[in-house]
Amino acid sequence: MSAPLLRLDDVTKTYREGDAERAVLRGLSLTIEPGAFVVLMGRSGAGKSTLLNLVSGIDLPTSGRITVDGTELTELSETERTLFRRENIGFVFQSFNLISTLTVAENVLLPLELSGTATGQARERAQAVLAHVGLGDRGDSFPDRLSGGEQQRVAVARALAHDPLFVLADEPTGNLDYETGQQVLTLLGDLVRDTDTTLLVATHDRSVLDRADRTLTLHDGTLHDRLPDFLSPDDRRAAEGAAADA
């Protein structure tokens, strides 16, 4: 068995609200293997986005350790975490969050440009990824000219263009209609499978469950390696089938 890509050891995150402290995550421990497609479910406010922020190094836990590919994020400075994220993490957000001031191609190249590694080969890869998401001919367009589905496909291309270790997707279908959402999920799933990239998707979308290797549920600040209680029997059967195949 290979070394885990992600390891959480007794991770707790609390927020201060006035005089009171509210614990969003309590003593989470978790390992995720490389190349896994993991779905993170939970009710709104359960702490899914907080967990993604911790895993990406955007935020730091109140206590506990987070290790990604052998690098302990909690030991790094803010700048070191940013550089780590730039190299190793790809993000897909619910509301796409493309940079309105950059063209589609520039958005995809952004992480490489920021790290100064936008070589010819990297550009070719970015173009190839863009073509792969079906937008090879829209590289010079600005984001506000694209539909929601197209924008999310660009976001997927941006998340994968620099060949990251890990893609974190936060409600990637939340702002899309069902059909478009499915297309985006298929695309994302295919791409991470093809490139052996690890994917962690935080979502409410039950349709993603049949694609996942593993489903985690956040409930009351703790993490459970099981399906959430609110699933229908059909969804539950589909998810269990997918996990067994994996």
Based on the number of CB atoms within 10 Å of its own CB, is 21 exposed (0-12), middle (13-18) or buried (19 or more)? exposed
CB of 99 vs other proteins, minimal distance in Å: 6
Q: What one-character DSSP code corresponds to residue 209?
A: G
121 makes contact with other proteins (CB under 8 A): no
CA–CA separation, 230 and 205 (whole Å): 12
171 makes contact with other proteins (CB under 8 A): yes
Pairing of strands 198-202, 166-170: parallel
Site string for other proteins, 76-95 (x = CB under 8 A): --xx--xx-xxx-x-x-xxx
205 makes contact with other proteins (CB under 8 A): no
CB of 232 vs other proteins, minimal distance in Å: 26
63 makes contact with other proteins (CB under 8 A): no
62 makes contact with other proteins (CB under 8 A): no
Q: What one-character DSSP code corresponds to residue 3?
A: P
111 makes contact with other proteins (CB under 8 A): yes
173 makes contact with other proteins (CB under 8 A): no
Chain-centre distance for alpha carbon 232: 25
Q: Which of 17, 144, 179, 225 binds other proteins (CB under 8 A)?
A: 144
44 makes contact with other proteins (CB under 8 A): no
Q: What is the H or E stretch that residue 90 is in?
A: strand 89-92
Cβ-contact 188, 156 below 8 angstroms: yes
Residue of 216, 218, 202, 229 whose CA lies nearest to 27: 218
Residues that bind other proteins (CB under 8 A): 49-50, 53, 56, 58-59, 78-79, 82-83, 85-87, 89, 91, 93-95, 97, 99-102, 106, 109-111, 113-116, 142-144, 158, 170-171
